């Protein structure tokens, strides 16, 4: 193939480079790497276009301009590849004006040297005197080539380190970029190494053609530049949670700013010289939870300082062989949430106490509602409830007896000694009744000076004996009065169900009639229901 027929090949390389640059440029909002790749492909397009024109058009002006355009395109490619690898290795990095100026110094000097007629032979010797293939590389060209290889070597070494340190889709992206960049570099090395006295065609754009094709395929088929790794300082260092990496002995290997602030909070002054020190020694014994979360649960919530609560989660890390490398400890300050929880618990405790107090008061009020305020005995309301529940029917096997106790001549006591003395008498009688009561008995003040005692399971004979016991104790009482000691007696009526009645009203009526009989018989005595037994005592 004649050398002049190579221009379509270079034109295709330029077209592919332009297409790749356009695809990458459209993704510039997603990642700075896209902009760098677009610039590299733009330089490739310039380089390939220069070769296509110089091989396709045999004109003096083309041969004159060719060295300058060639070196400009090559310089743009080298600088862009360096920027691309820098961004891929550290997505947080941004090209500054100072760095851009430093990268442009050598290419600008070389382009200037190639443009000035007096010095252009230092770049390409013979480019304006004959066929372009007869040119020889000048010392400036070779020096620029050496400089470019150094810059590219640094860039490729950075990509290799990134490739070894990453995984998954990011590793695949780095591998594609590394291989495509090496293709063009190999082509340039072949071109320079094969340059002889007869001249050789610049095959570098052909390798750039392969580079562009692979990059296009990667963009469409592998999602190149769709997902770009985020730098550590954009993730870990900006997390509000504290993140620490500790080795198996608990020594701190790495931590983020939130962890430093946390350590300063739990132990002021303890964050100096953290790396390499044992975590619980830095944080203090109170914060031991930071370094001693068990592998079994991996989670713990603990108070490491007064009012400072931490939610600690730990995950073990190991090498590919399963050997323990340490743990990643993620700590979240939950003091506010814990404070709210404790406040809610305290409110619940207070509420429970209030509910308990309310229940106590309610029970007290309920009890007071069925108690006589003077004697403390149950009142008639409670007595009615007890009798309603008592087994009074003829078929009930257990008997129920009722005693009606009436204080003799109580009106005279009130009239002669006053109501205060009368109240004392009633309270003393109530004390006798309460003292004579057994478990299950009910003692109530029926009204005025009259009392009722309900005796479940007590028959007629035992009820009469209990009534006599009460009568005797009441007669033995002595009460303080204005004129000295005062004694009173009681009359007691006894009725037993079901013989004397099968309902509360009937039973009380029978006992009441027995009381009237006792009073009619001279008072201070016990009488069973009328007509069923003679008076006792």
On the question of a cis peptide bond just before residue 492, with omega within 30 degrees of 0, the verdict is no
Q: Beta strand pairing status for 490-497 and 526-528?
A: parallel
**Residue 64 to residues 59, 68, 132, 139, 215, Cα–Cα distance (Å):** 9, 8, 10, 18, 33
Helices 139-165 & 97-115 angle (0-180, nearest 10): 150
* 110 touches 69 (CB < 8 A): no
Query: Do 63 and 128 touch, CB atoms closer than 8 A?
Result: yes
What gap in Å lies between CA 467 and CA 474, rounded to an integer?
11
144: its two tokens: 């620029």
Bridge pairing between strands 479-481 and 484-486 = antiparallel
Is 449 noted as a catalytic residue in this protein? yes
Handedness of CA 406, 408, 411, 416 (dihedral sign): negative
Structure tokens at 62: 């083309």
- Least Cα distance to 312 among 324, 342, 295, 322 occurs for 295
Element (H, E) at 527: strand 526-528
Contact in structure between 215 and 198 (CB atoms under 8 Å):
no
Question: Active-site residue among 296, 356, 449, 450?
Answer: 449
The residues annotated as belonging to the active site are 449
């Amino acid at each position: 193939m004649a050398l002049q027929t190579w221009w379509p090949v270079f034109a295709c390389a330029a077209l592919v480079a332009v297409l790749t640059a356009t695809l990458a440029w459209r993704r510039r909002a997603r990642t700075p790497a896209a902009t760098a790749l677009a610039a590299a492909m733009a330089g490739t397009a310039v380089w390939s276009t220069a070769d296509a024109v110089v091989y396709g058009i045999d004109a003096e002006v083309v041969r004159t301009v060719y060295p300058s355009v060639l070196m400009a395109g090559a310089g743009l490619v080298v600088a862009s590849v360096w920027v691309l690898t820098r961004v891929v290795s550290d997505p947080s990095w941004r090209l500054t004006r100072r760095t851009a100026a430093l990268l442009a110094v050598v290419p600008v000097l070389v382009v200037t040297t190639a443009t000035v007629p007096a010095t252009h032979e230092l770049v390409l010797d013979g480019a304006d005197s004959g066929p372009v293939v007869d040119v020889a590389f000048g010392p400036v060209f070779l020096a620029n080539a050496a400089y470019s290889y150094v810059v590219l070597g640094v860039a490729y070494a950075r990509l290799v380190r990134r490739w070894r340190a990453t995984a998954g889709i990011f590793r695949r992206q780095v591998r594609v970029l590394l291989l495509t960049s090496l293709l063009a570099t190999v082509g340039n090395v072949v071109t320079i190494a094969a340059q002889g006295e007869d001249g050789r065609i610049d095959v570098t754009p052909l390798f750039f053609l392969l580079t562009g094709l692979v990059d296009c395929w990667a963009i469409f088929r592998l999602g190149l530049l769709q997902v770009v790794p985020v730098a550590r300082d954009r993730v870990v260092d900006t997390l509000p949670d504290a993140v620490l990496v500790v080795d198996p002995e608990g020594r701190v290997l790495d931590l983020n700013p939130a962890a430093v602030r946390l350590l300063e909070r739990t132990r002021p002054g303890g964050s100096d010289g953290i790396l390499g020190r044992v975590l619980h020694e830095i944080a203090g014994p109170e914060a031991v939870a930071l370094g001693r979360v068990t592998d079994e649960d991996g989670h713990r919530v603990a108070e490491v300082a007064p009012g400072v609560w931490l939610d600690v989660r730990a995950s073990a890390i190991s090498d590919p062989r399963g050997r323990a490398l340490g743990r990643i400890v993620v700590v979240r300050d939950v003091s506010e949430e814990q404070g709210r929880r404790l406040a809610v618990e305290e409110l619940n405790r207070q509420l429970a106490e209030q509910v308990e107090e309310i229940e106590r008061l309610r029970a007290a009020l309920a009890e007071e509602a069925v108690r006589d305020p003077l004697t403390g005995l149950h009142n008639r309301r409670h007595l009615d409830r007890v009798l309603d529940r008592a087994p009074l029917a003829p078929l009930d096997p257990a008997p129920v007896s009722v005693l009606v106790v009436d204080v003799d001549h109580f009106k005279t006591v009130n009239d002669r000694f006053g109501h205060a003395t009368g109240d004392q008498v009633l309270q003393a009688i109530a004390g006798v009744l309460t003292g004579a009561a057994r478990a299950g008995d009910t003692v109530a003040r029926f009204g005025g000076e009259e009392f009722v005692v309900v005796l479940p399971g007590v028959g007629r004979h035992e009820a009469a004996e209990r009534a006599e016991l009460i009568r005797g104790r009441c007669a033995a009482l002595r009460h303080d009065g204005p004129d000295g000691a005062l004694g009173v007696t009681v009359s007691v009526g006894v009725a037993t169900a079901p013989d004397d009645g099968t309902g509360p009203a009937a039973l009380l009526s029978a006992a009441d009639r027995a009381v009237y009989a006792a009073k009619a018989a001279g008072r201070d005595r016990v009488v069973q229901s009328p007509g069923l037994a003679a008076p006792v005592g």
